[in-house]
Amino acid sequence: IAESCSELTGDLLQFSFDQTPLFQGGVSQAHCVTYAKVCAELCNIAYKQYGIQAHARPVVGEYSMLGIDPLFKDHDVVEVQYGGKTIYIDPSLDDILD
């Protein structure tokens, strides 16, 4: 569900440092904060619809990759808790790399 919601978020939004009003015709321009909020909400709607005991929420963190520390600072991603486990998904980066 989280991966599908990340893909759907990428279909609804286009990455930009400048935001446009959400869902007022066409694809909305958004940054990582909005990507994380929209994706988490989509996840929670699906979890509730299917009776899945999981919860998604936006969180702020840092990315380290390829020896660059931090690559992204104060970057919003989605934390999903399910069955005593926690995973993180990044809908904005998924969209940029897609």
* Amino acid at the residue 23: F
* Closest-CA residue to 34 (of 23, 45, 50): 23
**Collapsed DSSP state (helix, strand, coil) of residue 66:** coil
Per-run averaged pLDDT (10 residues), the chain, 98 residues: 96 91 87 95 98 97 68 85 95 88
Q: Identify the pLDDT of residue 23.
A: 84
Q: Which residues contact 48 (CB under 8 A, 6 or more apart)?
A: none
Q: Identify the pLDDT of residue 69.
A: 64
Q: Identify the pLDDT of residue 97.
A: 86
Q: Identify the pLDDT of residue 74.
A: 81
Q: Between vectors from CA 65 to CA 59 and to CA 69, what angle results, nearest 5°?
A: 80
Q: Identify the pLDDT of residue 24.
A: 83
